[in-house]
Amino acid sequence: MAPSLNHTIVWCRDKSASSAYLVDVLGLPDPVAFGPFLVVEMANGVSLDYHEVERAGDRIEPQHYAFLVTEEEFEDAFGRIRARGQDFWADPGLRRQGEINRNDGGRGVYFRDPDGHLLELITRPYGSGG
């Protein structure tokens, strides 16, 4: 068997709120409790396992999570982002606010979750041409 990513831990302040945010934006099934985690399962079998920091004042180091979605899924999720009145950007440096990108012939957008993690939606993998 070739190695593949199975899961990653997403550190957060409130695992219920943070995991609920992701499933709402992406239109995914509700998270499932497993030990200290709330697990959000992706369609490819990789899970994001939400775990709360130990103390309220603990720093969360923002991470980046990119989600490959269909054009229809992009439209639905991007609509939910806009309906929330959230800021969004076309670039990871957050310089092109209020725009989406059209890299590789698809569409992409960056936005932040409740804990400051930089989330990204893309409809074409980077480098796939277009």
pLDDT per position as a tens digit, 105-122 = 999 999 999 999 999 999
**In a shared domain, residues 47 and 78:** no
Residue labelled with tokens 């497993």: 34
Residue 96 falls inside a structural domain:
yes
Query: Domain range for residue 45?
Result: 7-54
For residues 97 and 36, membership in a common domain is answered with no
pLDDT score, position 57: 77
Q: Is the confidence at residue 93, as pLDDT, over 80?
A: yes
Average pLDDT over residues 66-95: 98
Q: Find the CATH number of the domain harbouring 116.
A: 3.10.180.10
Once rounded to an integer, what is the mean pLDDT over residues 21-39?
A: 98
* Stretch 81-96: mean pLDDT: 97
Mean pLDDT for 36-44 is: 97
Q: Which residues contact 86 (CB under 8 A, 6 or more apart)?
A: 111, 112
Secondary structure of residue 18 in the 3-state scheme: helix
In a domain, 2, yes or no: no
Residue 55 — pLDDT band, cuts 50, 70, 90? confident
CB-based contact 47:7 (threshold 8 Å): yes
**Is there a single domain that holds both residue 128 and residue 67?**
yes
18 and 75 in a common domain: no
Distances from the Cα of 62 to the Cα of 11, 106, 110, 113, 116, angstroms: 9, 26, 13, 10, 6
Residue 130: per-residue pLDDT: 63
User: What is the CATH classification number for the domain harbouring 15?
Assistant: 3.30.720.120
Q: Can you read off the two tokens belonging to residue 111?
A: 């936005």
Counted domains in the chain:
2
